Structure 1
Amino acid sequence: MRLILRIAAVVAILYASWLMVLLSLPYISFDPYVDFLFTKQLVYKIHHWRWSFYIHVFVSTAVLVAGLFQFSRYLLQRFPKVHRAAGYVYAVTVIALSGPSGLVMGYYANGGVWAKVSFMILAVLWIGFTIAAMYAIYRKEWKKHADMMTRSYALTLSAVTLRFYAYMIDVLDISVSPRAAYIWIAWLSWTLNLILAEYLIRRRVFTSWRAERISA
């Protein structure tokens, strides 16, 4: 049963990554009047926001896939160099590109101050957990590294859960104002992920075999 759940999770994340690719394709034209950008006309002219948006959109899939590799038992045991390479790609991308660009986008987010606060906290925690994971591996603190990577990737998946919750509100036709819905989604997209991450950490779902293999 546990194996089935793991396979289902991997398939779901890979499918979500493919959807992220499809969502990012319209922005390759750099047309300011495409999809989400229709709602950002007041800030599109701001250079650092515009650069942050395109960076965030175009590297999102790489972060999702590279992070997923970190939780492959088979990859860690059979191809540890690939595991490490993917880990460095993930960490550098989050710390230098995705995290900072997310922080800028959070500052200019739709939905008012509460949505802005949520996305900015998300970006800071995302960068912080990833730095902590890299520092732990530098100090050979294997368990802490595994725990911090679990938290970091939980926040990475907020890009997926945010869109999932938005889709469910539309499908279920929940009676709520667009502004209120966006604020709720902004917070739930990452807080519920972190709660699940803490549950997995306490159950030592990833920690034991990751720590055992890395320290070998």
Structure 2
Amino acid sequence: MTIALKTGLILCFGYFFWLMLKLTLEYVPAQSDVAFLMIKQTEVETRPEYLSFFYIHVYSSIFVLIAGFFAIIRMNFRTKKLHQYSGKIYVFGLLFLSAPTGIYMGLFANGGFFSKISFVLLGIFWWFSTFKAYQSVRGKNYTTHQQWMWRSFALTLSAITLRLWKWIIVYFFQLNPMDVYQIVAWLGWIPNILLVELLIRKKIL
């Protein structure tokens, strides 16, 4: 990967990360009736654990997103320590915080059964690919580790691509909000993982 391409990726990611950070800051301080939670009051009121799981997911995911990026993008050898420390934050935060809470939240996703299935599968694959990345680096199989990390980070980026697809569909099509949610629930991560798998098979990643 050339320096120019890496620089472009960093700038692109930086822009979308800033947008995600702005969304996260809407939940600071933690409240039960702001932003997305306004349409999840049934869960908030009937399931005492929902709010805690939601905030664990929201707060941990922003750190997982930035840590994953620094673990994936290595400009030169001097960033090896950054790669290692970022990777540890990424793996711990994802395996123990973001993915488990994401799976739980998927059980109550908007859009009905098909949306719920998508988000639960996303959470399971997200956890599994990250665990495989961790397992392979522990076994010093660095090529396999890199491939699993790319798969994992492709799923991490679903937080961004889901919202991007939502904007595109809402802008160009007049659809019921729940129909949009069912569509982007799958579009948010399926193209990501297919693209990464193709790049791995082409030995580009």
TM superposition score normalised by structure 1: 0.89
Partner of 1:190: 189
Aligned equivalents of 2:142, 2:122: Cα separation in 1: 24
CA contact (8 A) 1:14 1:65 kept: no
Please list every run of 5 or more consecutive structure 2 residues that lacks an aligned counterpart in the other structure: none
Aligned equivalents of 1:2, 1:78: Cα separation in 2: 17
Partner of 2:51: 50
Q: Write the letter of the residue equivalent to 2:169.
A: I
Q: Write the letter of the residue equivalent to 1:171.
A: Y
Q: In the alignment, is residue 73 of structure 1 matched against residue 65 of structure 2?
A: no
Root-mean-square deviation (CA), in Å? 1.6
For residues 31-74 of structure 1, what are the alpha-carbon distances to aligned partners after superposition, in whole Å with 9 as ceiling and x for unaligned?
A: 32211111100001322221111011112221111111122232
Partner of 1:209: none
Query: How high is the sequence identity, in percent, across the aligned residues?
Result: 37
Higher alpha-carbon deviation: 9-18 or 135-144? 9-18
How far residue 175 of structure 1 moved from its aligned partner, in angstroms, is 2.4
Aligned equivalents of 1:4, 1:169: Cα separation in 2: 31
Aligned equivalents of 2:184, 2:195: Cα separation in 1: 16
For residues 70-101 of structure 1, what are the alpha-carbon distances to aligned partners after superposition, in whole Å with 9 as ceiling and x for unaligned?
A: 222325x1131221111010000000000001
* 1:6-45 equivalence runs, <5 A: 6-45=6-45
Aligned equivalents of 2:120, 2:34: Cα separation in 1: 24
How far residue 155 of structure 1 moved from its aligned partner, in angstroms, is 0.2
TM superposition score normalised by structure 2: 0.94
Partner of 2:199: 200
Runs of 4+ with >6 A deviation:
none
| Count of residues in Structure 1 that have an aligned counterpart in Structure 2 | 204
Tell me which of the two structures has the higher relative contact order, counting C-alpha pairs closer than 8 angstroms and 6 or more residues apart: 1
How far residue 205 of structure 1 moved from its aligned partner, in angstroms, is 2.6
* 1:1-216 equivalence runs, <5 A: 3-45=3-45, 46-75=47-76, 77-172=77-172, 174-206=173-205
Please list every run of 5 or more consecutive structure 1 residues that lacks an aligned counterpart in the other structure: 207-216
